[in-house]
Structure formats: structure tokens, C-alpha cells
């Protein structure tokens, strides 16, 4: 069974500054699936999310163009497995009535999905083994966090941000 995911974004793990691809279930338990990725792939995903168009096509843009020029469409991305901290994914491509899955790194698959608006899924077994439960915040903790934030906002001045 497949579980649909939303791309939350790419974050930097502190203090290592390693990019982490953050995915989250669209329904149900709302578990999160963090996947460590490389810098170039993080940049490619960021560019696509921000609508930045480079002068020359990146590898992911090129692959999307090749698939399109051959009459194909990227149907979906499926994160399939994790073995010894290495994640696996497949890109589902439809061409002239047949569908094929091509093995890919999750970072590359997601970079392509973002470019074409393809949905992202994960095998339920992968989510059961690798996804993280969202942190539970008690209502009184949440109110305390909001109070702290309100105090911070009330204590700053626009001049504090001038260089």
C-alpha cells in the first residue's frame, strides 16, 4: 500500500550542515520522513520550489525534457525501501499506454517530481520502519511557547535588524 507524502522542504541539520529532505504524510498519522541528501540535490530541489530557472538546464530539468520529448509523463514518485541508511525510490513514467518504473535516488526523484508536479508516495512498510512520529506538544506547552514568542516580538524594534 502507498502512503502519499507532501514535500515540507529541505533543511540543514545542525551542527553538521548536512541537507535533509523533509517529507510528511498528507493524511493519517502525519508522520515525517527525513532523508539526508547531497548539497547539489538540495539546491536542485530548492531552485524548483522557489521557481528559479537557471540559464542552462540542470540534470533534472534535462531528464524531464527528454521524457516529455519522447511523449512520456512522470506519473508519480515512490520511495520504496531503506537498506543500511540508504533510501531507494522509483520514478513512474508513462509512455504510449505503458508504465515503467525507473530506480532513482530519492533526492533525484523528488527534484523531478517538484518540476512536474508529480505526487510523492512511500511504501507503507518504509513509513512503518523509517518515519518519525510528529512531536507531541501539550496544550500548556504550546501556550508557553506562544507566550515566549509574543514577548520576543514585543521586545524588538525595527532598528534591531538594520545593518
Cα 28 from Cα 23, distance rounded (Å): 14
Residue 152 parent element (H or E): helix 139-155
Question: 104 with 89: CB under 8 angstroms?
Answer: yes
Averaged pLDDT of the chain: 89
C-alpha cell at 116: 512536474
Tell me the whole-structure pTM to 2 decimals.
0.80
- Print the SS3 string covering 28-56: CCCCEEEEECCHHHHHHHHHHHHCCCCCC
| Domain ranges (residues) in the chain | 2-156
Per residue in 99-148, pLDDT (tens digit) is 999 999 999 999 999 999 999 999 999 999 999 987 776 666 667 777 77
Domain 2-156 in this protein, CATH class = alpha beta
pLDDT at 14: 82
Asked whether the predicted pLDDT for residue 160 surpasses 70, the reply is no
Amino acid at each position: 500500500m502507498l502512503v502519499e507524502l507532501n514535500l515540507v522542504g529541505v533543511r540543514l541539520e545542525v551542527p553538521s550542515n548536512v541537507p535533509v529532505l523533509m517529507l510528511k504524510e498528507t493524511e493519517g498519522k502525519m508522520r515525517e520522513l527525513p532523508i539526508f541528501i547531497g548539497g547539489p540535490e538540495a539546491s536542485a530541489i530548492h531552485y524548483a520550489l522557489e521557481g528559479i530557472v537557471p540559464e542552462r538546464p540542470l540534470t533534472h530539468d534535462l531528464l524531464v525534457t527528454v521524457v516529455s520529448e519522447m511523449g512520456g509523463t512522470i506519473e508519480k514518485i515512490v520511495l520504496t525501501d531503506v537498506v543500511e541508511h540508504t533510501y531507494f525510490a522509483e520514478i513512474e513514467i508513462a509512455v504510449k499506454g505503458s508504465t515503467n518504473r525507473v530506480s532513482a535516488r530519492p533526492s533525484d526523484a523528488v527534484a523531478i517530481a517538484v518540476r512536474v508536479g508529480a505526487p510523492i508516495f512511500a511504501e507503507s512498510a518504509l513509513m512503518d520502519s523509517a518515519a518519525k512520529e510528529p512531536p507531541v506538544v501539550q496544550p500548556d506547552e504550546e501556550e508557553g511557547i506562544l507566550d515566549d514568542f509574543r514577548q520576543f516580538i514585543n521586545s524588538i524594534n525595527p532598528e534591531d535588524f538594520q545593518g
